[in-house]
Chains A and B, each alone.
Chain A
Amino acid sequence: MTNTTSKPQPVSQPESDRYWAGLKNEEIWLQRSTTTGEFQFYPRNFSISEPENGSEGIEWVKVSGQAELFTYAIVHAAPHMGFVGEVPYITALVRLQEGVIIPTNIVGVDPEPEALCIGMLLKPVYEHSDVSQTLLKFTPA
């Protein structure tokens, strides 16, 4: 991956097409177990909380995107040629209201520890691309 100068793009898989298609429309669709009600990220062809029910055991639900900051790092050394022009940038794990944790970036805030507080409330930002998937990022609510 380090021999290319463009950022790695998501390669949507059959089980995740609906997730990525939702983001194109600025909608967040998550999977939920039909029996336990537990949400999961990332999309799969079954529920990991009730695997015995197979594909019958999951449903897609549109969620609000309200989230809180769970943890983060501020990247100063680009890990890939595609991010050389981005540093410093904030990588994060955020917890959606539905309980799942997703990997993302925090944008619209200084990349300084003083500007970030674990537990701070966040709202979604959709970063569209003509050539690839829409990325789901977050900014302070």
Chain B
Amino acid sequence: MPNKQKLQNLSGRAHIVGVAESNKLGKVPEKSPLVHHSEAAINALDDAGLQFADVDALFTAGWSTLDVAEYLGIHPRYTDSTSVGGSSFVIHVAHALAAIAAGYCEVALITHGQSGRSDRAPIPRNPGTPMAQYEAPYGIIGPPISYAMAARRYMHEYGEDRTRQAMAEIAVSTRKWANMNPMAYFYDKPATFDDYHNSKWVAWPFHLLDCCLVTDAGAAIVITTPERARDAKNGSVAILGAGEGHDHSGISQMPNLTKAFGRHTGPQALEMAGITHSDLDLAMIYDSFTYTVLVSLENLGFCAPGEGPDLVASQRTAPGGDFPVNTNGGGLSYTHPGMYGIFTVVEAVRQLRGQAGQRQLDNCDLAVAHGTGGLLSSTGTVVLGVQ
């Protein structure tokens, strides 16, 4: 079991000093995934005021760090290709904190690049996995169907109409944030409740507007010691708490369809940071689907199981609301190249550093970034704060 005392000692012992996206997000067929990795790395190091030569640790998912380091021309002394779906990059933040505190490295670079929309060479799947053997032959393939079955179970347990309303609230509020983010895919396109309810079915109970985008995108994060963070070009954000883990791979093996692993990682990350939910100014919650946000908020402990629909009611999570969630426009309306978790951290850092432009929150000092990977399989949670 995690050692609470040691984790509390680890709190704040590394800082995020640089975050960035690749140069262009959305439909970018003219760039390969590795180009997104490299652009994001260049931009994040520039944001930090550091050079490639400073980097001594590399973290990535989807790709091996071997290929990414070779392409970038760097020679890391610490390497981590932990790849457990879209939450991986949030988990990398926690791993970088531990590695820096332990002395393995001083400047950690996390990169992500994925052309979910335009990739000429998508990654093949292994037909020997239990998921391929027992689920795929029945057409249980890809995230929408698996998450839809989990959402249908949630509706059975807690009420279909209020679940539907909550999903619509999340779709609409997230779009409002995207309308304030020039990098968002749907920056210029508002969406109403009618648009939500009238959008086509993808996998009932999911409408199209319950589902994230599929884009081409990249992002990167630079993390260093508290001492070196004092020289950061654009300010730094402390990594105060973290948790990670997973339950299952395929949805049919999920122990409880309405209780994902955030039930462990949320409480652990907050306790490590020494804070409670009401201390948080921003929640960046991986939104592969509207339902993912609903169930994640409950799992993290923002409310009791089944009370998520009340938590997100009446556009509380939208611009001007008292519970801001996914201020970049999320995977639903900003970008989602296949694995999105890194973007939750990028936005949290921007809000904490006061660099979120039109959508900047007032008095944003503490944020949680929560990634969900696979089929509600893995989660990674970090608490970030200005010190």
Contact = CB atoms under 8 A, between A and B. Distances in A.
Contacts of B206: 73
Given A91-B145, A92-B149, A101-B252, A71 B203 contact: no
Nearest to A75: B203
B122 A103 contact: no
Interface in A126-141: 133, 135, 137
B140 A103 contact: yes
Contact of B133 (A2, A3, A11, A93): A11
Contacts of A78: 139
Nearest to A7: B137
A135 B138 contact: yes
Interface string A1-12: 111000111111
B135 to A, nearest CB: 5
B148 A73 contact: yes
Interface in B186-237: 200-206
A13 B131 CA distance: 13
Interface stretch (B91-99, B150-158, B260-268): B150-158
Given A91-B139, A103-B251, A73 B149 contact: yes
Contacts of A60: none
Contacts of A105: 138-139
A47 to B, nearest CB: 15
Contact of B200 (A75, A76, A135): A76
B122 A104 contact: no
B145 A73 contact: yes
Contacts of B137: 7-10, 133, 135
A113 interface: yes
Contacts of A22: none
A2 B137 CA distance: 13
B2 interface: no
Nearest to B154: A71
Contacts of A13: 128, 133
A103 B138 contact: yes
A1 B141 contact: yes
B274 interface: no
Nearest to A136: B138
B71 interface: no
Interface residues of B, number: 36
B139 A89 contact: yes
Contacts of B152: 71-73, 118
Contact of A93 (B136, B139, B144, B149): B149
A77 B141 contact: no
A76 B204 contact: yes
Contacts of B140: 91, 103
A101 B133 CA distance: 15
Contact of A72 (B124, B133, B149): B149
B153 A70 contact: yes
A133 to B, nearest CB: 7
Contact of A1 (B133, B136, B200, B201): B136
A10 B153 contact: no
A71 B205 CA distance: 11
A118 B251 contact: no
B6 interface: no
A88 B145 CA distance: 12
B320 interface: no
Interface string B117-129: 0000010110110
Contacts of A104: 138
A16 B128 CA distance: 11
Interface in A89-141: 89, 91-93, 101-105, 113, 118, 133, 135, 137
B324 interface: no
B141 A79 contact: yes
Given A1-B141, A101-B252, A102-B252, A76 B203 contact: yes
11 contacts: A7-B137, A16-B133, A70-B153, A71-B257, A72-B152, A73-B148, A80-B139, A91-B138, A103-B252, A105-B138, A135-B138
Interface of B: 122, 124-125, 127-128, 130, 132-142, 144-145, 148-150, 152-153, 156, 200-206, 250-252, 257
Given A7-B139, A13-B133, A105-B138, 5 more contacts: A9-B137, A11-B127, A11-B128, A73-B149, A86-B139
